[in-house]
Structure 1
Amino acid sequence: MKITFWIFLFIIFYTYVGYGIFLYALVRIRRIIKGKRNSNFDLTNLPTCTLIIAVFNEASILEEKIKNTKELVYPDGKINFLFVTDGSTDESPEIIKKHEGISLMHSPERRGKIHAMHRAMNEVHTEIVIFTDANTFLNKEALINIARHYQDRTVGAVAGEKRVQIDETADATAGEGFYWKYESALKKWDSELYSVVGAAGELFSIRRDLYIPVPPDTVLDDFMISLRIAEKGYRIVYEPDAFALETSSASISEELKRKIRIAAGGIQSVVRLKSLLNPFHNFVLTFQYISHRVLRWTITPFLMIAAVIINAIIVWQTGEWLYMVLLAGQILFYALAIIGLTFEKRNIRIKALFIPYYFCVMNYAVLAGIKRYAFAEQKVTWEKAKRK
């Protein structure tokens, strides 16, 4: 039982902290042996590009989004802007129609974002395609900073950085900002070692000729599309100087909606991307994929529960002080998470408590997402989380 406990504890630590430490060490070793990856680009020969923005009932923010889109820097004659408003029942299509230089695709039928993307891709003929969301705002040089990487023929996709804007009154969603900063560091090191393991829909791009339509019931379309390209042997590069800025979720309950959907899509992706679990296909990619994604979306949340139970049994049977300290540490951590929950309900803001609270919410979301996937409760269309 002690051996089992230490194995579980190691996997938990490795999933959330250890992989980051080990990954950074591997990156440092790679730099010593091979040097840093090439960052010299010819900005006079950028590829043709289409920016696709999927929209669903975003009339309240569309004018600001269009203004941001038109301010993006890219060579004249090499960029197209395409808004897709399938299923929108507000004034979104009419708002877009008023603006010159922007193409609109609209269908009154709501069949989900992935279906809208498939429709749009059938009309795109540029060398690369960049996807972003209607509720995010890009830095002016985002498109150039993404497109320059395609001068390397081994690159099949480029992931931008998601940045969460946290204001001074932020509550438990402060944990969201901390989480994305940590994720960004991991993605930067993943990219330098070999490849990012999946892109986020807020901002990512692909080579047009590598696009493979994913099944219409796919929940994490961005993740699946990018990793299908990695399956072919192409790298997914991370570009932190191309970023999408969005506000945090309106509350932790709104963030929980999003996390459960992502977890359901995550386990769906693991089931469908079986080839990435085969280390003989691409050992480094498999190592990164399992370490960064699969463990979080499968066994680790269950091991966290099991570790507490096994630890308590060991203490009850042996009374050894080391296991008493470890049990006390676990109980304290979860107690801080419960206090964070209590404070959020009372609108008391102590950010130090919101990190353990957010961490526990994330792992609860995985358990709920696995249940949702197992009972086929996750639809491809979803109620988007409200944001501040």
Structure 2
Amino acid sequence: MIQFLQILFWISIFIVFYTFIGYGILLYILVKFKEKRHPAQPLALPENLPDVTLFIAAYNEEKIVKAKMDNCMQLDYPKDKLNVVWITDGSTDMTNSMLSVYPDITVFFSPERKGKTAALNRGMQYIETPYTVFTDANTMLNADAILEIVRCFTDTKVGCVAGEKRIEVKDKDNAASGGEGFYWRYESKLKAWDSRLYSAVGAAGELFAIRTELFVPMAEDTLLDDFILSLRIAMQGYKIAYCDKAYAIESGSANIEEEQKRKVRIAAGGLQSIRRLRPLLNPFRYGLLSFQYISHRVLRWSITPILLFLLLPVNLILVLATHFTPLYSVIFVLQVIFYLLAWTGASLARKQIKVKILFIPYYFTFMNLNVLKGFFYLKKHKGKGTWEKANRADS
């Protein structure tokens, strides 16, 4: 029994370390090795810029419509080649009437709310431009975003372009937005390295683009439409390019309860995606893409959080069973300290006391707990594509 626990303990440590740190180190080394042999070549903009559709799926976004439209008008792309399309299915507030004052945009509306994926499926039937850029109503794009995305598509091997998601972090931010901001900075670095090695592993719905002809309708209960859509394009033999020069900025979640809604739904969507992208688990068929997908996504959304939380009790048993062997004792103490810091961060956040250094252990623990909760969310919401929106912090 003790021998089994020792094996489980060391395998768990290896997988947890590899998932959150080791893969990043390995990825960095592989990228440096590749680019030393084959330096990346800069891409030039096409002489004749193509028509592009900026596609915004929105539900009850009256508070943000004006700011989003102001942002759309500030994009540095020929106005006669940029089509702005909103699809507002199910909206019951003033979203549609506010959009009606903009004559140069197209609005598709259906009173029935079926969820974002169903709205995407319906709206994409009407898109005729060669490229479609997806963005959320509550995210603001940098002026050069569309130009930089079009630049990436000059590589004919690129079927999808993932923009960078940036969290607006201010001094007043809480643990949710502060922790989320740190997480996305690290995640953005991994995405960039993934892309430089071969392909980014998925795209975030805040900003990504596809060759319109590659769009394939998805099941309406799909929770992570951006992830499924982008990876199915990669499975067709195209690459997902990561473009940090095209970015979307949004506020962090209003509080940790609102952030939990997002993380649980994303975790549930991750589990759903693993099942629906089963062929991608086969490295003999998809090679390097499978390696990246398993290392960067599958482990995080499946066994790693389970092993992470098993480490503490297994470690305690081994400490007692081996009569306080120094190695097991030191690792146990380090785990206890880490969780005490996470608990302290949680306690201070509830009292509105901001200690940013504690956001990281708090958010890391919180994020992995929500992966476990994602299983129950998926079971409860099976067959449903709608969800309750998480409120964002005031900008």
Inter-partner Cα distance in structure 1 for 2:267 and 2:7: 29
After TM superposition, the structure 1 stretch with the greater mean CA deviation from structure 2, 137-146 or 99-108, is 99-108
The correspondence for 1:226, drawn from 213, 216, 230, is 230
- The one-letter code of the counterpart of 1:368 is K
Inter-partner Cα distance in structure 2 for 1:175 and 1:286: 29
- Asked if the contact 1:197/1:288 (under 8 Å) is kept, the reply is yes
| Mapping of residues 244-283 of structure 1, within 5 Å | 244-283=248-287
What does residue 13 of structure 1 align with?
Answer: 17
Q: What is the deviation of 1:76?
A: 4.1
The correspondence for 2:246, drawn from 225, 238, 242, is 242
The correspondence for 2:347, drawn from 342, 348, 357, is 342
Query: TM-score scaled to structure 2, two decimals?
Result: 0.96
| Mapping of residues 179-194 of structure 1, within 5 Å | 179-194=183-198
Q: What is the deviation of 1:378?
A: 7.7
**Cα separation, partners in 2 of 1:71 and 1:137, compared to 1, 3 Å:** same
RMSD between aligned alpha carbons? 1.1
1:107 has 2:84 as partner: no
- Asked if the contact 1:261/1:378 (under 8 Å) is kept, the reply is no
- The one-letter code of the counterpart of 2:165 is K
- The one-letter code of the counterpart of 2:371 is V
Q: What is the deviation of 1:149?
A: 1.3
Spell out, residue by residue over 1:218-277, the C-alpha distance to the aligned partner (whole angstroms, 9 max, x if none): 000011000110111100000001000000100011111100000000000000101110
The correspondence for 1:200, drawn from 204, 210, 216, is 204
Which runs of 5 or more structure 1 residues have no equivalent in the other structure? none
1:321 has 2:331 as partner: no
- The one-letter code of the counterpart of 2:67 is E
Q: What is the deviation of 1:177?
A: 0.4
Inter-partner Cα distance in structure 1 for 2:100 and 2:47: 32
- Asked if the contact 2:220/2:384 (under 8 Å) is kept, the reply is no
The correspondence for 1:58, drawn from 58, 61, 65, is 61
User: Would you say how many aligned residue pairs link Structure 1 and Structure 2?
Assistant: 387
What does residue 388 of structure 2 align with?
Answer: 383
**Cα separation, partners in 2 of 1:378 and 1:252, compared to 1, 3 Å:** farther
Inter-partner Cα distance in structure 2 for 1:107 and 1:71: 28
SS in 2 for 1:296: coil
1:287 has 2:291 as partner: yes
- The one-letter code of the counterpart of 1:352 is I
Which runs of 5 or more structure 2 residues have no equivalent in the other structure? none
What does residue 86 of structure 1 align with?
Answer: 89
Spell out, residue by residue over 1:334-385, the C-alpha distance to the aligned partner (whole angstroms, 9 max, x if none): 1111111111111111111111000011001100001222344583111111
**Cα separation, partners in 2 of 1:348 and 1:378, compared to 1, 3 Å:** farther
Percent of matched pairs sharing the same residue: 50
Q: What is the deviation of 1:176?
A: 0.5
Query: TM-score scaled to structure 1, two decimals?
Result: 0.98
**Cα separation, partners in 2 of 1:238 and 1:304, compared to 1, 3 Å:** same
| Mapping of residues 2-81 of structure 1, within 5 Å | 2-36=6-40, 38-81=41-84
